[in-house]
Amino acid sequence: MGGGWKKIESRQISKTNFKSRLKNVSKIPRIHNYYGMIEQTGSIFMECEQGHFHCSSWSEVIMRDFKTLQPLKNNKVGLIQLISALPHSYPGHSILSEDIGIKLGEDDCPCGRKGTYFDVLGRVKQAEVRGCSDTYSK
């Protein structure tokens, strides 16, 4: 299942509550979230057991300063730029998103996975609401 909560953000529930309710209904023992966007085909950042998103061998993220767009060091909140080696038929290899995140580290996540790991904190206020799978009609 894919898609964010952008258009129905007011109905958003915590990750813990969502997973708990889904487990109760589906009886699926392990539930993992993921982050990605249709604009960058092939880049999916899976959530680990610690609740962090991980870059694959084919992707990377850079957190950028809100005003200068300069790259930020670990543990600084900024705009998420997604980098991928996969898109070849269109200029989707580097996308500056309207999402806010924090790069937590590289090769040292407590889950044991290698590479960059990060958290997504939300969207920039006043960002245009758009999405592909979270449409909701009254």
What's the rounded mean pLDDT across residues 112-123? 95
Instruction: Give the span between the Cα atoms of 12 and 10, in whole angstroms.
Output: 6
Residue 138's pLDDT band, with cuts at 50, 70 and 90, is very low
What's the rounded mean pLDDT across residues 100-117? 97
Residue 136's pLDDT band, with cuts at 50, 70 and 90, is very low
pTM of the model: 0.81
**Which residue bears the tokens 């899976």?**
46
Q: What is the pLDDT of residue 17?
A: 86
pLDDT exceeds cutoff 90 at 65: yes
pLDDT exceeds cutoff 80 at 40: no
SS3 94: strand
Whole-number average pLDDT of the chain: 85
| Percent of the chain at pLDDT exceeding 70 | 82
pLDDT exceeds cutoff 60 at 104: yes
DSSP string across 44-91: EEEE-TTS-EE--TTEEEEEE-TTT--B--TT-EEEEEEEES---SSS
